[in-house]
Amino acid sequence: MELEWQQQAGEKLMRILAFTLVISVMNATMFNIVLPKMSVDLHLSFSQASWVFAVYTLTYAIGSVIYGKLADTYKLKNLLTFGISLLFVGSLVGLAAQAYWMVLLGRILQAAGASVIPATAMIIPVRYFPAERRGRALGISATGLALGNALGPVVSALIVSLVHWRWLFCIPVFILFILPFYRKYLGDEQGKAGRIDWLGGGLLAGAVALLLLAVTNGGWILALASLMIFLLFIVRIRTAAEPFVQPRLFSNKGYSLGLSLAVLVMGIGYALPFLTPKLLADVNHLAPGVIGFAMVPAAVTSAILGRTGGKLADKRGNSFLFSTASVLLLICFVLLSSFTGMSPAFIAGFLIFGTVGQMFMQIALTNAISRTLPKEETGVGMGLLSMLNFLAGAVSTGIYSKIVDHGSGFHLNPLNAYQNAFVYSNLYFVLAMLHVGIFALYHLQFSRAAQKNNQTA
């Protein structure tokens, strides 16, 4: 009876979570489109205005792992209540903002609250669904993420065409209305009571913050400071009685390798939403509004196929879904490398293969990683995965920017004949080759582990 109730609660929670993820993703990305307008209204340089996005990302990345750790000790429903309430407060501050510092404060408070959502999105499928049905749940989450990415630019453009950009702060308020449903369907699961190693958590947060700042602003001093603080974090978790992260977590070969692959996959995947708009602007000379529409078909297709990817993981296994994703991504990157410079309609079509492939790969990797974690370390383990996803995006986009700025006078792919697109063609070609290596590593580790489990069973 209790198991049946848990399954029914899990199904309802996934629907609520999908809606939450749509709003959360929209809230994270909507302000990008209004940064030029914001810089004019508040008399800022564009680099100053861009901190509205940077400070949100920074707080969000750190918060996701902290909430994950807290979820191993405290009730998830209470953490969600606190996080969503803080998100609401941040929205009110931003809506009332008349100065730059209030806008920043609003976004910091929003991110500090909203960062409970990625931790929740990782934990609910693991806690409420058995391994053989977890893929479907992760597919529902992926659908919410894809819908948020598709709707964000459209809704943002619509709102700012009718009212002031400050009204964008109101969008997350919709999450407040579904908080009672989380309170109703989330159980009272609570981990083992114990002390939280706030010093260890602070060292990890400091290392992440400095690394993101180093990537955003450049400078070896910040990167070196990040490395030093990270080394202190390692010393701390090896000497503390109850460390923020148990060192044995990283001794788990399956988890460590899965985490490494996820970082590579996310870093490569960011090339699609980050490089493609720049390509369409630099090579095809499209206006920003048209570029946004070119990205919509891929996002909509991903939203439609999200649940299909999850079902494939459950029926055919993670390895099958990962292989399918690898093929789709290889097709996308090879086509982009070969035909960069052609009509934007072709680029929009190529993106569909890559965006769907990236989503399938995330489902397969998240599902595989979740199976390597013991129950008592699910929160912090999945929280670290979420945080590293953000770090991978920040670092990879910084690398891509520098490569594009440097340009290229040669081409790795002989099929590409557009000289002004050589640098993009070369990048996509290298990313395709990297995916071949990732495919081999994944099957070497997880397929072998799956075969061993089947033989044991």
Q: Torsions phi, psi of 414, nearest 5?
A: -65, -15
The whole-number pLDDT of residue 297 equals 87
Q: How many CB atoms lie under 10 A from the CB of residue 40?
A: 10
Q: Residue 51: helix, strand or coil by DSSP?
A: helix
286 in Cβ contact with 344 (< 8 Å)? yes
The whole-number pLDDT of residue 186 equals 84
CATH architecture under which domain 1-187 falls: Up-down Bundle (1.20)
Radius of gyration of the chain from its Cα atoms, rounded to whole angstroms: 22
284 HSE (CA, 13 A, CB side): 23
Tell me the H-state helices in 46-133: 46-49, 51-71, 76-95, 100-114, 116-128
The whole-number pLDDT of residue 334 equals 93
What is the rounded CA–CA span in Å between residue 355 and residue 269?
Answer: 8
SS (H, E, C) 99-123: CHHHHHHHHHHHHHHHCHHHHHHHH
Q: How many CB atoms lie under 10 A from the CB of residue 14?
A: 23
CB-based burial, 48-78: b 16+ in 10 Å, e otherwise: ebbbbbbbbbbbbbbbbbbbbbbbbbbbbbe
DSSP state of 270: T
Q: Torsions phi, psi of 238, nearest 5?
A: -90, -15
The whole-number pLDDT of residue 419 equals 74
30 in Cβ contact with 176 (< 8 Å)? no
The whole-number pLDDT of residue 256 equals 87
What tokens does 203 get? 């060292």
| Residue that has been written with the tokens 């206006």 in this structure | 287
Spatial neighbors of 289 by CB under 8 A, at least 6 apart, are 157
Answer yes or no: same fold for 1-187 and 249-446. yes
Residue 279: name the closest of 212, 204, 336 by CA: 336
417 HSE (CA, 13 A, CB side): 1
427 in Cβ contact with 400 (< 8 Å)? yes
Handedness of CA 294, 271, 434, 137 (dihedral sign): negative
Nearest-5° Cα angle at 137, 383 to 272: 65
Handedness of CA 249, 251, 252, 257 (dihedral sign): positive
Residue 122: name the closest of 449, 363, 393 by CA: 363
What is the rounded CA–CA span in Å between residue 310 and residue 364?
Answer: 8
What are the structural domain ranges in the chain?
1-187, 197-243, 249-446
Residue 390: name the closest of 38, 1, 36, 62 by CA: 62
The whole-number pLDDT of residue 82 equals 95
**CATH number of this structure's domain 249-446, picked from the four choices 3.40.50.150, 1.10.760.10, 2.40.50.250, 1.20.1250.20:** 1.20.1250.20
448 HSE (CA, 13 A, CB side): 8
390 in Cβ contact with 314 (< 8 Å)? no
What is the rounded CA–CA span in Å between residue 424 and residue 339?
Answer: 10
Q: How many residues does the chain have?
A: 457
What tokens does 140 get? 């529902």
Q: Torsions phi, psi of 428, nearest 5?
A: -65, -35
378 in Cβ contact with 267 (< 8 Å)? no
What is the rounded CA–CA span in Å between residue 26 and residue 4?
Answer: 34
The whole-number pLDDT of residue 454 equals 46
Tens digit of pLDDT at every position of the chain (457 positions): 455 666 677 788 888 998 999 898 888 877 766 776 787 888 877 567 777 877 888 888 888 888 888 888 888 899 999 999 999 999 999 999 888 889 999 999 999 999 999 888 888 888 888 877 888 888 888 888 888 877 777 777 778 778 888 888 988 889 989 999 998 888 777 656 567 888 888 998 898 888 878 876 767 888 899 999 999 999 998 898 888 888 888 888 888 888 888 889 988 988 888 788 778 888 888 776 677 678 788 888 888 888 888 888 888 888 899 999 999 999 999 999 998 878 888 998 999 999 999 999 988 888 888 888 887 778 888 888 888 887 887 788 778 877 887 777 777 887 776 777 888 888 999 999 999 988 888 777 665 555 554 444 4
Spatial neighbors of 282 by CB under 8 A, at least 6 apart, are 404, 420
pTM of the predicted protein model: 0.81
